[in-house]
């Protein structure tokens, strides 16, 4: 089941006075595939950091399934990051000394799953992104598109309710990028995961069921 997201007048001012978010409000019902579209510097990553509970808003609130993320205890926040909200980054962030399988199994091991079960689930996840044959490959042996598919499998392995993707196709050629977005679209639809995809690419945003346009830290016709 996907997460319900509710953002109310969220502001984020960084030390030095940069107002990255100038009061943003929106709601996402569970299972929505939303794109956060806007040029570099408009506040997309900042908003994803708030949704991922990596940072707190300066004022306003960000709630997931009715829980204000800023009010969570440290343990609840760790739990949220590990089990409820997963992130895919532009530069894959795979661990270079681990194989594809080990990378996907890692969050499950951190969550306390016994290794055989974690690896069985990781194998399944790699199969879903079409990479069973490459499970023992190290990241440097994979193409960019393949690395991002491993990162998608890793993000979805803990069965999160919310998937946050920050310019996930920003380092890929258009064909590999389209393939990654196709996969993400299929996998999240099958599981009902709520997605927030940050992108400056209108074509990528076109795959979303809801487009939130961000400009200078504000939503425009969102």
Residues contributing to the site for ligand ADP (CB under 6 A) = 14, 18, 20, 38, 40-46
The least CB distance from residue 176 to ligand ADP, in Å, is 21
Closest approach, Cβ 137 to Mg ion, in A, equals 28
| Residue 73 token pair | 């205890």
Picked from ligand ADP, Mg ion, none, the partner binding residue 206 (CB below 5 to 8 A depending on kind) is none
Tell me whether residue 12 or residue 44 sits nearer to Mg ion (CB atom): 44
Minimum distance between the CB of residue 56 and ligand ADP, rounded to whole angstroms?
13
The tokens describing 180, both together, are 């990654």
Q: At which residue do the structure tokens 């974690």 appear?
A: 118
Closest CB to ligand ADP among 110 and 220? 220
Q: Is 222 exposed, middle or buried (0-12, 13-18, 19+ CB in 10 A)?
A: middle
Within residues 43-62, the interface with Mg ion by CB under 5 A covers 44-45
Q: Which is nearer to ligand ADP, 16 or 66 (CB)?
A: 16
Cα 74–29–168 angle (5° rounding)? 70
Q: Is 179 among the residues that bind Mg ion (CB under 5 A)? A: no
The CB-of-96 to ligand ADP minimum distance in angstroms stands at 25
Q: Which does 192 bind (CB under 5 to 8 A by kind): ligand ADP, Mg ion, none?
A: none
The string over 50-80, giving b where at least 16 C-beta atoms fall within 10 Å of a residue's C-beta and e elsewhere, is bbbbbbbbeebbbbbbebebeebeeeebeeb
Among positions 8-47, residues that touch Mg ion (CB under 5 A) are 44-45
- Toward ligand ADP, which CB reaches closer, 13 or 61? 13
Query: Which residue number, 2 or 38, has a Cβ lying nearer to ligand ADP?
Result: 38
Q: Residue 18, Cβ neighbours under 10 Å: how many?
A: 12
Spatial separation of the C-alpha atoms in residues 72 and 66, rounded to whole Å: 11
Give the residue among 149, 168, 26 at the shortest CA–CA distance from 87.
Answer: 168
DSSP bridge pairs for 22:
11
Nearer to Mg ion, 45 or 179 (CB): 45
Q: Convert 163-174 to b/e letters by CB count within 10 Å (16 or more is b).
A: bbbbbbbbbbee
For residue 40, the minimal CB distance to ligand ADP (Å) is 4
Applying CB under 5 A, which residues contact Mg ion? 44-45
């Amino acid at each position: 089941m996907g997460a319900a997201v509710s953002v109310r007048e969220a502001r984020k001012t960084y030390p030095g006075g940069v107002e990255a978010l100038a009061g943003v409000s929106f709601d996402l019902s569970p299972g929505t595939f939303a794109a956060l579209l806007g040029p570099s510097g408009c506040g997309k990553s900042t908003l994803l950091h708030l949704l991922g509970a990596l940072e707190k808003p300066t004022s306003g609130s960000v709630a997931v399934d009715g829980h204000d993320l800023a009010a969570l205890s440290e343990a609840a926040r760790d739990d949220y990051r590990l089990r409820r909200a997963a992130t895919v980054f532009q530069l894959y962030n795979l661990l270079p000394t681990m194989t594809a399988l080990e990378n996907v199994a890692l969050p499950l091991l951190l969550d306390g799953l016994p290794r055989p079960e974690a690896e069985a689930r990781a194998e399944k996840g790699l199969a879903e992104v079409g990479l069973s044959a490459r499970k023992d490959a190290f990241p440097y042996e994979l193409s960019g598109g393949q690395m991002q598919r491993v990162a998608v499998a890793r993000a979805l392995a803990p069965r999160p309710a919310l998937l946050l993707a920050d310019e996930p196709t920003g380092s890929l050629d258009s064909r590999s990028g389209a393939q990654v977005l196709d996969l993400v679209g299929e996998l999240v639809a099958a599981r009902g995961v709520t997605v927030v995809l940050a992108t400056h690419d209108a074509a990528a945003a076109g795959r979303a069921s809801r487009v939130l346009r961000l400009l200078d830290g504000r939503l425009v016709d969102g």
